[in-house]
A and B are shown apart, each in its own frame.
Chain A
Amino acid sequence: DARVTQTPRHKVTEMGQEVTMRCQPILGHNTVFWYRQTMMQGLELLAYFRNRAPLDDSGMPKDRFSAEMPDATLATLKIQPSEPRDSAVYFCASGNWGRGLRSPLHFGNGTRLTVT
């Protein structure tokens, strides 16, 4: 059963430190999303890639967040410097999205980030 793999599962860091979260999408999927989940805001879209090209990162704080796909098997989300308000669960999701709308997104188990 193919899965989206995220690492690390948990991360605790101090304010000001750099944080890198990694995601391995399902092989063959052409679309990768990053979402952030908090109690207050729910699931927020941060960034969206199609065929490794960034299509939309309007939901991401540009001054400290960056998202990349160095190759088709790896997506990264980096926060530098991290702040306590970044504490959340970060989800990566992948899908095989084309012209149709039927295909769902497959989610990883998330990275729970705590910034102290």
Chain B
Amino acid sequence: AQTVTQSQPEMSVQEAETVTLSCTYDTSESDYYLFWYKQPPSRQMILVIRQEAYKQQNATENRFSVNFQKAAKSFSLKISDSQLGDAAMYFCAYRSRADGVQKLVFGQGTRLTINP
């Protein structure tokens, strides 16, 4: 079964600095997608960024970028110029077509605190 592991339950960073959240996954599939979702205190799950397994180029969305290392099964999220509004739980998620059924499997999450 596919599993997603976020080894950092909590992280903190100074405002305006850069922080990297780690994520590893376990799969035998070759075709899959990876996502990072943000959950602020409002509980809303917000898509931050996504990466296709077949693309070598790392995805970027404004201040958010990923470091996708397919061989190592690693998918870290880098937040540059951290802002107070970035404070949230961040979930790494994996989607594939295992056994003919598509699912979105989540990691346990990392709580990010931004220090002013």
Binding site for B on A (CB under 8 A): 31, 33, 35, 42-43, 45, 48, 55-56, 89, 91, 93, 97, 101-102, 104-107, 109-110, 112
Contacts and interface: CB of A to CB of B under 8 A. Distances in A.
Contact of A42 (B35, B42, B45, B109): B109
B28 interface: no
Contacts of A33: 104
Contacts, number: 48
Nearest to B95: A101
Contact of A109 (B32, B35, B44, B103): B44
B43 A89 contact: yes
B91 A43 contact: yes
A44 to B, nearest CB: 9
Contact of B43 (A31, A102, A104, A109): A109
A102 B42 contact: no
B84 interface: no
Interface in B63-115: 91, 95-97, 101-109
A93 B50 contact: no
B45 A107 contact: yes
A35 to B, nearest CB: 8
Most B CB atoms within 10 A — which of A31, A35, A89, A105?
A105
A35 B109 CA distance: 15
Nearest to A44: B106
B52 interface: yes
A56 B32 contact: no
Nearest to A35: B106
B91 A102 contact: no
Interface in B5-53: 31-33, 35, 37, 42-45, 47, 50, 52
